[in-house]
Amino acid sequence: QVHLVESGGDSVQAGGSLRLSCAVSGYSVGRDCMAWFRQAPGKEREGVAAMDAAGSTIVGDSVRDRFTITRDNDKNALYLQMSSLKAEDTAMYYCATPRSGDAWCWDWGAYNVWGQGTQVTVSS
């Protein structure tokens, strides 16, 4: 059974940085798709960044050049490095993976296994 546990969320000032972590069990982060999503109050969950087994990545337009997705295969963990944070980055952040092994990593709709989330609050 896949288990995802996010951590690293905090309250920061605009312009600050944070690194979110996702500890993964029951699944190998280097084997297939992994992604970060976020959901702000009153808004739909949106994909932020994703990575495939080869290490290729995509990043959402709203966070491009500010957020970076990485992984540590030895620690079986996924990370989201966030810099130049803005108030609009305030949200609950989730790591996720597809339940299906045939998923296309760049299809946000393919992700259906979630962690409990970690809160990021950015004050201006």
pLDDT averaged over every residue in the chain? 95
For residue range 89-124, list pLDDT tens digits in order. Answer: 999 999 999 988 788 899 999 999 999 999 999 999
Residue 5: pLDDT band by 50, 70, 90 thresholds?
very high
Give the C-alpha separation, 94 to 90, whole Å. 13
Q: Which residues of 92-107 are buried (b: 16+ CB within 10 A; e: fewer)?
A: bbbbbbbeeeebebee
**pLDDT of amino acid 39:** 98
